[in-house]
Structure 1
């Protein structure tokens, strides 16, 4: 773990709001010169605090109007079942997030689809045919109130 001061936290908040900012823009936002901001950003990257920057796409505008959270319980336990399932599920492009969880289900997936009939096709032809799948439960997202809360 790295010790963060108030300037580091301000830099992280600025980059969390807009990952496309350059060091000059970050410096202006937090009251640092461009070289000082660059050094701090570089230190945060080298320490692994900043693991990367990503582009945020509007799924609905790209034609993916439905997001479904799917709980998956595997039929059999064991290392081979987990690895086989993980390899297969990560190969499905509509599956955006794969989380191995504790609780009623073994995995939680975030799946995007064009509409409900498209999701049904993905569920029946891709998810339900994965190795080791025993039971699934789907929850269609109605709205999203908060996405990626700031951690700093």
Structure 2
């Protein structure tokens, strides 16, 4: 893979730092430095460079949705009436504020958008559908697919 001019060139130490931080974002700099065989100041400089360049986009903790009552996952396909720049822009602006929508992807293919939605139960999804999804601007068609269970879920990017 050839890096473009805005892409930071990563060496094996950078990749190991990223691999370790993806597994445990709360790891202390001293622990991280020990595991990658750097001094703490050198390790910190590398992490700061990765953050400043945007390779490290942020830090989060993961919540198990089932443990907080969000037991129903759905994948929702949205087709717009028009794919004009105005219609796409209006839809995208509105969907960002839509409750329960965890992810939204602009697609190539048969549908315009694919949403991953988390809700408490089917009744909660019906409320979301009636009050939010069906009212998004420019929507021509909504098709919902219920996920029975998660087989694989990753948060780590392969490096």
Q: Where on the TM-score scale, by shorter chain, does this alignment land: which range?
A: over 0.9
Counterpart for residue 150 of structure 1: 157
State the partner residue of 1:48: 54
Number of the residue aligned with 2:100: 94
Determine the C-alpha separation between the residues in 1 that align with 2:24 and 2:105: 25
Aligned to 2:23: 17
Report Cα offsets for 1:1-30 as digits up to 9, x if no partner: 121111111000001111122311211222
Unaligned runs of 5+ in 2: 1-6
CA distance in structure 1 between the aligned counterparts of 2:65 and 2:129, rounded to whole angstroms: 19
Pair 1:111-2:117 in alignment: yes
2:141 counterpart SS class: strand
Dislocated runs of 4+, deviation >4 Å: none
TM-score normalised by L of structure 2: 0.89
Question: In the aligned structure 2, how far is the partner of 1:126 from the partner of 1:12?
Answer: 38
CA distance in 1, matches of 2:139, 2:15: 42
Residue 4 of structure 2: aligned partner: none
RMSD of aligned alpha carbons: 1.3
Provide the TM-score with structure 1 as the length reference.
0.93
The more displaced of 28-37 and 7-16 is 28-37
- State how far apart, in whole Å, the 1-side matches of 2:62 and 2:19 are: 16
Q: Which 5+ residue runs of structure 1 have no aligned equivalent?
A: none
Superposed displacement of residue 77, structure 1: 2.3
Q: Deviations over 1:38-94 (max 9, x none)?
A: 011011112211111112111111111111111100012211111111111111121
Corresponding residue for 2:132?
126
